[in-house]
Each structure stands twice: as structure tokens, then as C-alpha cells.
Amino acid sequence: MKIKLFFNVFFIKPFDDVDNLIKQANNVGFAVAMEEGTFKVVRFSLSGSTYAIEMMRLGAEMLNESKSNNKLKMRSEEYL
């Protein structure tokens, strides 16, 4: 059995402006260009997203501080 992984990456600019808009929104949608001139639209609820993103950023900061203070792995690194 072969498993193929595909990664889609979106770069959003200007990030700070979009980040501020998203923090105030309830939903977000993206239109993605497909082959032959068609588009696929995806929509997401942002319910709880501000809290989740802040917790993720806090965790990343703590992990970076821990790595710079000592070279030991934190337990949370097993899941990142």
C-alpha cells in the first residue's frame, strides 16, 4: 500500500490585516482555482478559532523558550 501526501499551502498577504479581519469574523471562505477555469469554494466556521490560535501561539512560544533555555525535549514535542 502506498500513501501519498499532498500539502496545500496558502500565503495570505498582508497577514496582519487579514489576521485582524479573521479575528472579528464568524466565517471565512476561500475560492480555489481548479482546472479548466472552474473554482471550488470552501467555507469554515471560525467559532473558537481565536482562542485556539492564541493557545497554539502560546504553546509555540513556550516550546521555543524551553529549547533555548535547555536542550531537553518537552513532552509536548512528541505531538508537534
pLDDT tens for 29-77 read: 988 888 889 999 999 999 998 899 889 989 988 888 877 776 555 555 5
Cell of 51: 482562542
pTM: 0.52
Q: Any long-range contacts for 20-23 (C-beta under 8 Å, 24+ apart)?
A: 22/46, 22/49, 23/50
CA distance 57 to 16: 15
- The closest of 54, 58, 50, 52 to 21, measured between CA atoms, is 50
